[in-house]
Amino acid sequence: MALAVESMILTAVSEGLSTCCVGSFDEKEVAETLNVPSNFEVLLLLAIGYSREKLDLSSKLLHLVRSRKKLSEVASEETFGKNFAAQKVKEH
């Protein structure tokens, strides 16, 4: 898991994003809230996004020239496995 998270962090940073690892949480509560199946364990939460302080011209340009998957293809909304509703997602 550590190598996978490290890879996600390094990739996010190379894309001009900021990250924050959250390791202190109530696993049962998070699993229930997100409807994570019982055969999965929640070991870490990783917040990824654009930092207001780091939004500079180079990250904006990189965002325009690189092709990206749609957010709805790689993330769940509120619960495990629930795709984002198209009308709610602002795709870039």
Total domains, the chain: 1
3-state SS record for the chain:
CHHHHHHHHHHHHHCCCEEEEECCCCHHHHHHHHCCCCCCCCCCEEEEECCHHHCCHHHHHHHHHCCCCCHHHHCECCCCCCECCCCCCCCC
Per-residue pLDDT tens over the stretch 24-78? 999 999 999 889 999 999 999 998 887 766 556 666 666 676 666 776 777 777 7
The answer to whether residue 24 is domain-embedded is: yes
The answer to whether residue 30 is domain-embedded is: yes
pTM: 0.54
The answer to whether residue 84 is domain-embedded is: no
The answer to whether residue 78 is domain-embedded is: no
Q: List the domain range (segments joined by +) for residue 19.
A: 2-54
Over residues 87-92, the mean pLDDT reads 48
The answer to whether residue 49 is domain-embedded is: yes
